[in-house]
Structure 1
Amino acid sequence: MTTDVTSIDPAPPIVDLVIAIHDARRPLAAAIASLRHQGLSLGTQLRVTVVCHNIPIDEIEALLSASDRDAVRLMSCNDGIPSPAGPFTAGLAAATGRYVSVMGSDDSLEPGALAAWVARAERYSFAAVIAPVRLPNGAIVRTPPRRPGRRAALDPVKDRLAYRTAPLGLVRRDVVTRLGLSFTPGVTTGEDHEFSLPLWFSGEPVGYAAGDPAYRVGSGVAPRVTETPRPADELVRAIELLIDQRWVRALPASSRHAIVVKLLRVHVFALAARSSIGAGWLTGEREHVAALVRDLIALAPTATDVLAIADRDLLDALLDVSTDSAELVRLAHRRRRFGTPATMLTRSPRHLLAREAPVRFMVASALV
């Protein structure tokens, strides 16, 4: 049956888990099936809310078996924006459980994951538990590249938490409310920055579920909304909104440094290879990206010191709007040749062994 979000449950669950779905081709039944083996009673200890995003509820309900329809709550979110921000926000707003969790409709949880994460959160009084994430090929996603062996009392700077922006795992619902955590509305990518980063840098106790069952990323048959090629201006909007936040600017220099290094490495540099994937530069986009890079450097002037030589060369090219697209693509590919001197060394030897410099960063990533 379809349950209206306004219905009152007799008792709150331990975990409220929200699944966002925007395409009927998604393997939703498989996602729900994985939730029947979590060590929590589905429907009582674990409540699953499926948010039908810009798609009729009836169309999604038709995909479910009778037992699945009875086991989940269906909601509708019609915001017309191709981003999971809207449906995740709607689902979390309807939550009443002690913990909340989010999941893509392509994805699944390994057996016993939720029970293990809850046990870890309860044992250490964590505000959040960061889940290990496994790719379709079985490999573990190497984020966050925390200090070797570190599982509890993670430090946002020392354990490089900025590299895990997807809030996969568990978060205490009262912490979500108290910190005002939410996904950035109106953006089509990067919507999770304003949910996870304020949490990691809040001082709340955060743990990593090392050795526990993992969150599994699905291969999927339909494109994820966050993987669709988009204009550069659209791709950087979430970053612009983030660094304009008062709480970000009020962070200590070391925290701003950690965030900006991650934004440059993961998000800004990815823009440089656009021509090679058929997404060229539109009028004014190069100037827009160059301005963003200048703003990031102004927020954390030391961020450029720890970048590899190849990254610094690419950064210089992005700042020079006269650099042609072919050169940007060449430099973008060069920075991906990991293990070469240009990707391991910093311009100044003084920064070679800095926490965010390539040597320590790559070692930490390899040990995840």
Structure 2
Amino acid sequence: MTVTQPDVTVIIGAYEAMPYLVECLASVEAQTLDPARVEVIAVDDGSTDGTGEYLDEFAARAPMPVTVIHQENSGGPSGPRNAGLAKAAGRYVFFLDADDRLGPEALERMVAMADRAGTDVVLGRVEGVNRGAPKSMWHKTLERTDVFSSNIKFTLSAQKLFRRALLERHGMRFDESLFTGEDALFTMEAYLRADGVSVIADHTCYYLVGRDDGKHVTKSGGYALRFDSARALMRLIAELVPPGERRDQLMVRPFVVTLLPQFGPRWLTDDEEVRRHKLELAAPLMDAYWTEGVARLLKVHERLRLHLVAARRPDLLTDVVRFVRDKRQAAGLLEKNGRRLYLVYPHFRDRKAGIPDEVYLAGPREARPFLGYREQPADSFPRRALRRLRRLSAVRGLSRRDRPAAA
């Protein structure tokens, strides 16, 4: 009897997942992909609420092959996912959290997309149920894109379809030393190493479920873990992407999503010891990875806060954080005949503070709502050609005037 390789291995890490696990597994069972083309590897990570027993019951009746692994609690999602990866046989793997669920036809559509486009990673549209979900990458279905040409860097959760050959070729596994952000590290590496990424934007493939009891697979942990996560992701980006615009573009993600919240409203309630420690943890990251290129890509209040973190100026930072927390609107100051707009956040042009004007300079997107702002037009080819012709004409005119008069 010939054993056919499954198209996709669904890896489910489960910890204290009842009763959410019931709908999760029902969504797997309801998939339209032929059950013979699917395998499930479920890892019970030391649950005590009946999760392990329910997985065993599902394995006994499911239409597709199901392997259940029982292990002691590992403390995070990385261990169960790696245990599942070690046993996976599918051409693709999909990581499904036990408290979430798949959308109808999700596996069939994602596998078909990967096979048709020849891509190594497929993102299926995600919707939140009692919680938020990423939105900016679902504007358009893309058969082939990459992390530089789209907004996929803002969805680094592990709930994607990955070509298993890619993971095996690079020995990719989840970092079990990280207790938050481990999926961001894994997914960013996959994006950067992939031969193309696909995006399914017109069909919901995954429902991200907010639990009432707060017991998610991923534990939030303390602020120091967030710095660990940012450090690991920044280091990965620096290792795989040379310095320049493309690296700066990717660095926006860990700076804004992971690091900046530590210097948001919670900063105002931190005691002095925590504030000092946060600045100590941030210092080597700012020194190594904070560049003018990254700064230019941020909103003014984001750039200003991180500039003050880099400058080790907690005294000034507190005023800015309070201004942002209170949702106050910064006034706009127009200069250069309306072509330059500064947002007047605290300490703007305060000599004692010494913050450069450029930190407050708004980009076109922030500046457009202000009356009187005149956006500089793109430097199009006709404009460049016209300027060149004018320069050439001027040079020729000078050369004619310099010629000796005819006898």
Rounded to whole Å, the distance in 2 between the matches of 1:119 and 1:329 is: 47
How far residue 304 of structure 1 moved from its aligned partner, in angstroms, is: 0.5
For 1:63-97, what per-residue CA distance to the aligned partner results, in whole angstroms no more than 9, with x for missing partners? Answer: 3583454433211343633x211111111121010
- Counterpart for residue 201 of structure 1: 192
**Structure with more strand by fraction:** 2
Rounded to whole Å, the distance in 2 between the matches of 1:229 and 1:139 is: 16
Equivalent pair of 1:113/1:214 in contact (CA under 8 Å): yes
How far residue 150 of structure 1 moved from its aligned partner, in angstroms, is: 5.4
Rounded to whole Å, the distance in 1 between the matches of 2:327 and 2:167 is: 37
For 1:108-133, what per-residue CA distance to the aligned partner results, in whole angstroms no more than 9, with x for missing partners? Answer: 01111111111111111121111110
For 1:212-262, what per-residue CA distance to the aligned partner results, in whole angstroms no more than 9, with x for missing partners? Answer: 232001122332457645332221112212333486354352331122111
- Counterpart for residue 366 of structure 1: none
Higher relative contact order by CA 8 Å / sep ≥ 6: 1 or 2? 1
Equivalent pair of 2:16/2:215 in contact (CA under 8 Å): no
**Residue 92 (1) aligns with residue 85 (2):** yes
Q: Given the superposition, is the C-alpha separation of residues 177 and 289 from structure 1 closer, same or farther in structure 2, using an over 3 Å criterion?
A: same
Rounded to whole Å, the distance in 1 between the matches of 2:328 and 2:149 is: 24
Could you tell me which of 227, 230, 243 is aligned with 2:234?
Answer: 243
Rounded to whole Å, the distance in 1 between the matches of 2:87 and 2:157 is: 20
**Residue 270 (1) aligns with residue 261 (2):** yes
For 1:287-306, what per-residue CA distance to the aligned partner results, in whole angstroms no more than 9, with x for missing partners? Answer: 21233233221xx4410012
Aligned pairs for 1:29-40 within 5 A: 29-40=22-33
- Counterpart for residue 298 of structure 2: 307
- Counterpart for residue 74 of structure 1: 68
How far residue 59 of structure 1 moved from its aligned partner, in angstroms, is: 3.9
- Counterpart for residue 16 of structure 1: 9
Aligned pairs for 1:26-175 within 5 A: 26-42=19-35, 44-55=36-47, 59-64=50-55, 66-71=57-62, 72-78=66-72, 80-81=74-75, 83-136=76-129, 141-144=134-137, 149=140, 151-175=142-166
Equivalent pair of 1:306/1:358 in contact (CA under 8 Å): no
**Residue 223 (1) aligns with residue 214 (2):** yes
Could you tell me which of 352, 361, 365 is aligned with 2:364?
Answer: 352
Equivalent pair of 1:269/1:332 in contact (CA under 8 Å): no
Rounded to whole Å, the distance in 2 between the matches of 1:302 and 1:226 is: 36
Rounded to whole Å, the distance in 1 between the matches of 2:267 and 2:237 is: 36
Rounded to whole Å, the distance in 1 between the matches of 2:210 and 2:57 is: 26
User: SS in structure 2 opposite 1:185?
Assistant: coil
Q: Given the superposition, is the C-alpha separation of residues 104 and 95 from structure 1 closer, same or farther in structure 2, using an over 3 Å criterion?
A: same
Rounded to whole Å, the distance in 2 between the matches of 1:24 and 1:79 is: 13
Work out the number of aligned pairs and report it: 338
Q: Given the superposition, is the C-alpha separation of residues 245 and 141 from structure 1 closer, same or farther in structure 2, using an over 3 Å criterion?
A: closer
TM-score by length of 1: 0.79
User: SS in structure 2 opposite 1:132?
Assistant: strand
Equivalent pair of 1:166/1:192 in contact (CA under 8 Å): yes
**Residue 322 (1) aligns with residue 314 (2):** yes
- Counterpart for residue 176 of structure 2: 185
Q: Given the superposition, is the C-alpha separation of residues 20 and 257 from structure 1 closer, same or farther in structure 2, using an over 3 Å criterion?
A: same
- Counterpart for residue 296 of structure 1: 289
Residue 47 of structure 1 aligns with an amino acid whose one-letter code is E
Give 1 or 2 for the bigger CA radius of gyration: 2
How far residue 182 of structure 1 moved from its aligned partner, in angstroms, is: 2.0
How far residue 331 of structure 1 moved from its aligned partner, in angstroms, is: 5.0
| Runs (5+) with no aligned partner, structure 1 | 1-8, 360-368
TM-score by length of 2: 0.72
Overall identity of the aligned pairs, in %: 20
Equivalent pair of 1:310/1:334 in contact (CA under 8 Å): no
- Counterpart for residue 213 of structure 1: 204
Aligned pairs for 1:335-346 within 5 A: none
| Runs (5+) with no aligned partner, structure 2 | 333-341, 345-357, 369-407
User: SS in structure 2 opposite 1:241?
Assistant: helix
